[in-house]
Amino acid sequence: MRKFLKIGLVALSLVALPMTSFAQWMRPNNFTQAKGVTRIAEIKRFQAQNNLPVTGGLNSQTQDMLTNKNLAVYDLIKNPPSKGIWIAINKSRHTLTLYQGTRSIGKYPVCLGGPGTPTPSGKARIQNKHVNPAWGGMGGKYTPVPANSPNNPLGERWMGLKIPGKSGYGIHGTIKPHQIGQSVSNGCIRMFNYDVETYVFPKVLLGAPVYIGTDQELAKMGVRQIVEHVKPGQKPEKKEGKNQAKPVEKKPIEEKAKEKKLIPMTLY
């Protein structure tokens, strides 16, 4: 009887072993249980939150970030332009980061300008904000679209940018969320409607600084967004502006605004 009992215990341990061996540490995210377009959108958010290039695909970088606990994600900010809330837009990674002083308080995926109509680099400021804007059609190039229209390419939030030597650029929502992570706009910065309406528009004040550039250009402005390997059990040395990446709250990407206001715009 004891012999059969031992055999049974050994067999049970062999069955249990594969289950424990497949147990794996996983970084917080909202996409592993999602499907379809929601999964793609959440992968883009995960990539942005962890300083990865936004693609929407589960590539090797994203898989490594998901399961490798020895990857450290943080930002280094030298001489921030404000102690309050300001923005950095990374053209290399298709991300928009909200900072409060040196601290990252949110990272979001964006769509940027295409090769023929690139998003300009430089130090800008928020010069106007509008809820439910109308679209001016780029000065006659396209037919203007009124507010409340489902065809309005601006979505329901607009934050105009004051860029030295440039005009007509802004940060806004989109009616083409599948293009987030791409470079296809006429120069403006597009966001998921839910992200701009919930996290960015309400927090960013008029006059807030906005830094726009590639990894190299942002580094010259004092902004470095870092992913690095650390040894098992080793913590990265204390850094200013360290980013603790967290998944955004699970809510619908699209949420209609209540306020209404008309304003003609140029680019999108």
User: Could you tell me which residues come within 8 angstroms of residue 30 by beta carbon, excluding any fewer than 6 positions away?
Assistant: 42, 45, 46, 247, 248, 250
| Residue 55, φ and ψ in degrees, nearest 5 | -130, -30
Q: 188 an active-site residue?
A: yes
Is 111 assigned a catalytic role? no
Q: Which of 94, 111, 130, 188 is catalytic?
A: 188
Q: Which of 94, 172, 178, 229 is catalytic?
A: 172
List, as one string, the DSSP characters of 193-245.
HHHIIIIITTTPPTT-EEEEE-HHHHHHTTEEEEEEE--TTPPPPP-TT----
Residue 129 φ then ψ, to 5° = -140, 135
Q: How many angstroms separate the CA atoms of 36 and 14, rounded?
A: 37
- At 19, is the secondary structure helix, strand, or coil? helix
Give one word for 142, left, alpha or beta, with left for phi > 0 and alpha for psi -120 to 50. Answer: beta
Residue ranges of E strands in 29-137: 71-77, 85-90, 95-100, 103-113, 122-131
Residues with catalytic annotation?
172, 188
